[in-house]
Structure 1
Amino acid sequence: MTTAPSPVREPAWSLPRSAIGLWATEGVIGAVLLWLGIGAFLLFVPASAGGPVPVLRWLLPVLGVLVAVVTIGISPRIKHRVYRWEITAEAAYARTGWLTQTWTLVPISRIQTVDVTRGVLQQLFGLATVAVLTASSQGTVRIWHLEHDVAQRVADDLARRAELVRDQAT
């Protein structure tokens, strides 16, 4: 018999602090790309072009600085405080997002696949993502940026528990 998952509450675990470094690095990459675009605009569009160009020549650099400050200095720290995860006896769940928060809960009995993935930046920071998948398109829980060894242990544990639940059901 399957028991219902416990009510959604504050998940117990936060992400490692190295996730802040990863998010800040992603922010740096995004800011560099933005600044390349701003630089190209400033270089190739003459100031005498008229229309909104004179305003854009000072507005774009100001916006570029604001975006860089938010994506490098502010957003990673807020994300680290908000992103949380937990695996209980009944379910895997995570809370993500910093502007719009999303809670996702997957009962252990619904788990079909558990994957561990590592992007290039995650590898540089020693991190990995655990994806807990179900048949439902809305039922996937992704636990982002766990330390690689923790992610592997979580995935192994979830796969084992899901198999036990399937064995009990038959």
Structure 2
Amino acid sequence: MSTPAPPVRDPAWSLSRSAIGLWVTEGVIGTLVYGALVAVFVLFVPDGGPVPVLRWLLPTLLAVYAVTAIGVRPRVRFRVHRWEVTGEAVYTLTGWLTRTWTLVPISRIQTVDVTRGVLQQLFGLATVAVLTASSQGTVRVLHLEADVAQRVADDLARRAELVRDEAT
């Protein structure tokens, strides 16, 4: 007896609101790194160089990057990124420019991991990685609150084990 296919729809749950703070912090760090490179160029490249337009273009591009990376991208990503675990599958919707909708049937799950990067730890977040045997590899549910991530991972691992036991 085959299981009916899950409906194609947007997943129900948003990420933790702390993800916005994490993404803003990543944007600030990126802006500082690029800003240092731009400052070195502007301060140490001679005025009469072959590309004098870069002396004003690079700082302008840096400002555009900063506004996008700090002010726009985190909020758009928060509205777009969604996830859900149902009785049949794990659903994710990711991407702020290119959107990717992924469905992983519980029966395909091989391993479930919880990881916490340095910045995620500062914001109390974790990522649930669902590994399958498919060519798509790992599906990640990013930036859940750490306790929620652990409960989701435990639940998925338990349900995947039950499905494997039923199949044998």
Instruction: Give 1:135's aligned residue.
Output: 133
- Amino acid in structure 2 at the alignment position of 1:22: L
- What is the deviation of 1:137? 3.1
Give the share of equivalent positions with the same residue, in percent. Answer: 73
| Contact kept in structure 2, 1:106 and 1:140, CA below 8 Å | no
Q: Over the residues paired in the alignment, what is the CA RMSD in angstroms?
A: 1.0
User: In the alignment, is the contact (CA less than 8 A) between 1:82 and 1:96 conserved in 2?
Assistant: yes
Amino acid at match of 1:36: A
**1:146 matched to which residue of 2?**
144
Distance 2:83 2:34 in 1: 32
Distance in 1 (CA, whole Å) between partners of 2:160 and 2:2 is: 12
8 Å Cα contact 1:16-1:145 kept in structure 2: yes
CA offset at residue 5 of structure 1? Answer: 3.5
1:138 is displaced (CA, Å) by 0.4
SS at match of 1:112: strand
CA deviations on 1:96-144 (whole Å, 9 max, x unpaired) are 0000000111100000000000000000000000001101130422000
Task: Work out whether 1:7 is the aligned partner of 2:45.
Answer: no
**Partner in structure 2 of residue 160 of structure 1:** 158
Query: Cα deviation per residue 1:30-69 (whole Å; 9 max; x = unaligned)?
Result: 00000010001012101122x32x2110010010000000
SS in 2 for 1:7: coil
Deviation at 1:7, TM superposition (A): 2.1
Amino acid at match of 2:122: L
Query: Which residue of 78, 83, 94 maps to 2:92?
Result: 94
1:1-170 equivalences under 5 Å are 1-49=1-49, 51-52=50-51, 54-170=52-168
* TM-aligned CA deviation for residue 93 of structure 1: 1.1
Runs (4+) off by over 6 Å: none
Amino acid at match of 1:12: A
Paired with 2:146 and 2:157, the residues of 1 have a C-alpha distance of 17
For structure 1, list consecutive stretches of 5 or more residues without a partner in the other structure: none
5+ residue gaps in structure 2? none
1:10 Cα shift? 1.0
Q: Is the 8 A contact 1:104 1:139 kept in 2?
A: no
